[in-house]
Amino acid sequence: MKRRTIGIVDYGVGNQASVWRALHRLGYRCRVSSDPAKLDETDILVLPGVGSFPAAMEQLHAHDLVDYLRQSARGGKPFVGLCLGMQLLAEKSREHGLTAGLGLIPGEVVPFPGGGWHIGWNAIEHVGDDPLFAQCDGMAMYFNHSFIFDAPQEYRVYAARTDTRFPVGVRRGNLVGMQFHPEKSQDAGQALLRTLVEGLCP
């Protein structure tokens, strides 16, 4: 089996070290970089993220990565956004005002239903009929966020529940976003990461 190489986008505000370790532990080669030439040499891009949406977009612009990420995604390269990295795929966010995102998947990032935070372990529910996501249906993942990506129904692949049901996973072709932290979700997260890498890479 081909050993995949994963490009972890380093834009200064992510938890790229944790993502690197989780993927490395699964046996993948990983490159953490902000250099498009180095990221181009990989099989799949992973965009991690911890922080606020405006600060993250500011850093993506500062690292001159916005156009590169848009071109890579539109060119068909497999691309996974994790937590804030998923939200950055949206058209815009209402966190601390209105900020434009990468605009790769329709929809906007809005406050968590009812306000407050969604912190801790929660089960993910498979939405739709995409078989890539069926395997991890019902598994508990670690969440840590206060905004959600309100994507249209046709792009939703996972949901979670508190008092209400809300999207926590999206897919548009080669693009996938996960609102939780699979890299810190113990065995369940490892299973999902492997599924995503193997399922998205040709």
Partner 1 sequence: MIKKRLVGVVTVRGGWAVQSFGYGRYLPLGRPEVLVQNLDRWGADEIMLQCIDRSGGDIGPDFDLLDRVARLGIATPLIYSGGIRNANDARASVNIGADRVCVDALLHDNPDAVAQMGYLLGAQAVIAALPLSVVDGAVLWRDYRIGRDAPLSPEVIALLNEGAVSEALLIDHAHEGHPGAFDPAILDCGLADNVPLIAFGGISDTQAMKGLLKRDAIVAIAVGNFLSYREHAVQAYKEALFDVPVRPAHYNRTVYS
Active site residues: 83, 181, 183
- Binding positions for partner 1, 59-78, rule CB under 8 A: none
- To partner 1, the closest distance from the beta carbon of 145 in angstroms equals 6
Backbone angles phi, psi at 88, to 5 degrees: -65, -20
β-pair partners for 108: 92, 150
DSSP strands (E only) in the chain: 5-9, 29-33, 44-47, 79-82, 92-93, 99-100, 108-111, 118-123, 125-126, 140-145, 147-150, 156-161, 165-172, 175-178
Near partner 1 by CB under 8 A: residue from 103, 128, 132, 144: 144
Q: Is 156 in the site for partner 1 (CB under 8 A)?
A: no
**Residue 104-133 contact track with partner 1, rule CB under 8 A, x = bound:** ------------xxxxxxxx----------
Nearer residue to partner 1 within complex by CB, 71 or 186: 186
Binding of partner 1 at residue 195 (CB under 8 A)? no
**Interaction residues for partner 1, span 18-57 (CB under 8 A):** 18, 21-22, 24-25, 50-52, 55
Kindly state whether residue 93 participates in binding partner 1, applying the rule CB under 8 A: no
Task: Tell me the C-alpha distance between 69 and 79, whole Å.
Answer: 9
Residue 181 is a binding residue for partner 1 (CB under 8 A): yes
Residues 6 or more apart in contact with residue 67 via CB below 8 angstroms: none
CA pair distance 102, 104, nearest whole angstrom: 6
Name the residue with tokens 């804030």.
Answer: 84
The residues of the shown chain that bind partner 1, judged by CB under 8 A, are 12-18, 21-22, 24-25, 50-52, 55, 84, 96, 116-123, 140, 142-146, 160-162, 181, 183-187, 189-190
